[in-house]
Chains A and B, each alone.
Chain A
Amino acid sequence: MLRSWKDLDHFQEFIDSGGIVEPGDDMPDEYRSEVFRFIEFHANSELMGGLTERDWIPKTPGLRLKQIFLAKTQDEIGHAHLLYMVAADMGVKSRNQMIEELFAGKSRFHNVFHYQAVTWADQVAIAFLVDAAAFASQRAVFAQCTYGPYKRVLKRIVAEEGFHLRHGEDMLMSLAEGSPIQHQMFQEALERWWWPAVQLFGPDSDPADPLLKWKIKSERNEVLRMAYIQKFVPLLQGYGFKIPDDELRYDEASKKWLTSEIDWEPLKATMRNGGPDSRRRIANASANWSETRWVRDALDAAADNQSKNAAADGLARSAGTAA
Chain B
Amino acid sequence: MTSELSPAAADYLLAFADDEHMIGARHTAWIGMGPFLEEDLAFCSIAQDELGHAVALYEFLTDDVDRFALLRKPQEYRSCAFAELECGDWVDALVRHWLYDRAEQLRWEALSGSANQSISEVAVRAEREESFHRAHAESFMSRISASNDTSSISKLSEAIVRLLPVAQGIWQPSDREEEAIREGFATASSASMAQSWNSMIQEDLLRWGLDIDVSSSTGALGSRTERSQGFERLLASLQEVINIDPATAW
The reply on A64 being an interface residue by CB < 8 A is: yes
CB of A51 within 8 A of CB of B32, answer: yes
CB of B37 within 8 A of CB of A299, answer: no
Residue of A nearest to B142 (CB): A302
The reply on A71 being an interface residue by CB < 8 A is: yes
Q: How far is the CA of A45 from the CA of B250 in the complex (A)?
A: 28
CB of A299 within 8 A of CB of B29, answer: no
The reply on A167 being an interface residue by CB < 8 A is: no
CB of B32 within 8 A of CB of A301, answer: no
Interface-facing stretch out of A2-10, A55-63, A220-228 = A55-63
CB of A73 within 8 A of CB of B90, answer: no
Interface-facing stretch out of B3-11, B40-48, B223-231 = B40-48
A204 to chain B, nearest CB (A): 34
The reply on A33 being an interface residue by CB < 8 A is: no
Residue of B nearest to A64 (CB): B55
How many of A's residues come within 8 Å of B, CB to CB? Answer: 48
The reply on A208 being an interface residue by CB < 8 A is: no
Interface string of A185-219 (1 = CB under 8 A from B): 10000000000000000000000000000000000
The reply on A94 being an interface residue by CB < 8 A is: no
Residue of B nearest to A74 (CB): B44
CB of B250 within 8 A of CB of A61, answer: yes
CB of A58 within 8 A of CB of B90, answer: no
Considering the complex, which residues of chain A in the window 279-323 have a beta carbon less than 8 Å from any beta carbon of chain B? Answer: 285, 288, 291-299, 301-303, 305-306
Interface-facing stretch out of A174-182, A238-246, A249-257 = A174-182
CB of B41 within 8 A of CB of A295, answer: no
Interface-facing stretch out of B74-82, B146-154, B189-197 = B146-154
CB of B149 within 8 A of CB of A60, answer: no
Contact of A185 among B28, B35, B143, B244 (CB under 8 A): B244
Interface on chain B toward A: helix, strand, loop, or mixed SS? helix
List B contacts of A23 (CB < 8 A).
Answer: none
List B contacts of A70 (CB < 8 A).
Answer: 28, 31, 44, 47-48, 51
Contact of B143 among A64, A78, A302 (CB under 8 A): A302
How many of B's residues come within 8 Å of A, CB to CB? Answer: 52
Q: How far is the CA of A70 from the CA of B29 in the complex (A)?
A: 11
CB of B147 within 8 A of CB of A305, answer: yes
B232 to chain A, nearest CB (A): 15
List B contacts of A174 (CB < 8 A).
Answer: 249-250
CB of B37 within 8 A of CB of A47, answer: yes
Interface string of B38-60 (1 = CB under 8 A from A): 10110011011001101100100
CB of A302 within 8 A of CB of B146, answer: yes
The reply on A81 being an interface residue by CB < 8 A is: yes
Count of chain A to chain B residue pairs whose CB atoms are closer than 8 Å in the complex: 145
Q: How far is the CA of A81 from the CA of B152 in the complex (A)?
A: 26
B207 to chain A, nearest CB (A): 14
Q: How far is the CA of A162 from the CA of B144 in the complex (A)?
A: 39
A283 to chain B, nearest CB (A): 14
Residue of B nearest to A287 (CB): B33
CB of A302 within 8 A of CB of B147, answer: yes
Q: How far is the CA of A181 from the CA of B247 in the complex (A)?
A: 11
Considering the complex, which residues of chain A in the window 31-82 have a beta carbon less than 8 Å from any beta carbon of chain B? Answer: 47, 50-51, 54, 56-67, 70-71, 73-74, 77-78, 80-81
Q: How far is the CA of A84 from the CA of B244 in the complex (A)?
A: 39
A287 to chain B, nearest CB (A): 10
Contact of B41 among A51, A77, A298 (CB under 8 A): A77
The reply on B69 being an interface residue by CB < 8 A is: yes
CB of A77 within 8 A of CB of B44, answer: yes
List B contacts of A299 (CB < 8 A).
Answer: 35, 143-144, 147
Interface string of B67-110 (1 = CB under 8 A from A): 00110000000000000000001110000000000000000000
Sample of 8 more A-B contacts, CB < 8 Å, known A67-B55, A73-B44: A54-B28, A60-B241, A61-B66, A63-B69, A70-B44, A295-B140, A298-B147, A306-B146
Report B's interface with A, CB cutoff 8 A: 21, 24-25, 28-29, 31-38, 40-41, 44-45, 47-48, 51-52, 54-55, 58, 65-66, 69-70, 89-91, 140, 143-144, 146-149, 151-152, 155, 237-238, 240-242, 244-245, 247-250
Report A's interface with B, CB cutoff 8 A: 47, 50-51, 54, 56-67, 70-71, 73-74, 77-78, 80-81, 84, 120, 174, 178-179, 181-182, 185, 285, 288, 291-299, 301-303, 305-306
